[in-house]
Amino acid sequence: MANRHKRDTNARRFPRASVVAAPLALLVTAPAVAFGVLASTPATSDPVAAPVTRAVVSLAELKAQRDTVSRAGSRYEKSSSDPGAKDLLRQQAAVAKKQAQRATQQAQKATLQAVQAADTRLWTTAPLNLWSAPQDDATRFGVTKSGVKVLVTGRRSLGRVELAVDGKSRWVTAGYLSEEKPEEGAPGIGGACTNGTSVSSGVSPNVVAVHQAVCAAYPSIAAYGTLRGGGGDHPLGKAVDIMISGSAGWDVANFVRANYAALGVTYVIYSQNIWSLERGGEGWRPMSDRGSVTANHYDHVHVSTY
């Protein structure tokens, strides 16, 4: 009976070590998989590059990955009396650290090669923030002017495009680079609204100006929303919703943004992104998910004014 009990106990111990090893193995191989995806970006007619399915791995991400494995190993060693599991966990943690270090070196090498090989120059069509990486937690290194040529590496991730700036990797928001030199100055406003649309009486003069300018420039837009209940600027008559979606919505949003001074605009929201006068140098900023197409402003451009 004693021998059978010993065999049963040992049989239970082995799966515990295996269960711990499996997730650690996934963490160890993740950086290599990520770099493989980036390296295999297909050719495209896009003036920059095709979007990749995985973000460029940042040094902070690799460090967090390594620390996660180390903490998991430390916790398990304190709570487990299984020598086999402890040894396996130590080995996995050591391998994870080496993999993270190797992946970091690969990332630095790939970035250096991309910057050195950059030979395509495109025009900026708006002032763009320069970021250290494509992730949201990247560091900002100033702003590049509109209407200047920048050197593009061809790498793109998480809605940002990589530039080579003074021999260093910098990332800018995608969608604001062009092969053709942009026209100087913002798109003009003016002209008559001829499609029969209007805004509610009692709204601010700036809302009237926004409607007039957008209606003249985009006469196909047939619906505008102004006064309504709830919070925010709508009940105050200081906001207008321009009912448009898709790429045409971006045209309208950027038109309003370009003419914000003349129209008295304080901020614009579209497609879960916001531009505000207060933080104008940051360009379009992503917003948190509010749960629906309308709440996330995918079916209309929201404009708030003074």
Residue 80: predicted pLDDT: 55
**Tokens 């990955």 label which residue?**
65
* Strand, coil or helix: 17: helix
By 3-state DSSP, what share of the chain in percent is helix, strand and coil, each rounded to 5? Answer: 40, 20, 40
* Strand, coil or helix: 266: strand
| Cα separations in angstroms, 223 against 97, 139, 141, 193 | 57, 40, 41, 13
Q: For each successive 10 residues of the chain (306 residues), what is the average pLDDT?
A: 40 41 42 35 39 42 62 58 73 84 87 90 81 86 81 89 93 84 65 92 93 94 94 95 95 90 92 91 91 96 96
Residue 195: predicted pLDDT: 94
Beta strands 128-131 and 140-144 are antiparallel
User: Minimal CA–CA distance to 34: which of 22, 26, 24?
Assistant: 26
Residue 110: predicted pLDDT: 87
Residue 74: predicted pLDDT: 63
The sheet with strand 177-178 has its strands ordered as 140-144, 128-131, 168-173, 160-165, 149-157, 120-124, 177-178
Q: How far apart are CA 115 and CA 30, in angstroms?
A: 24
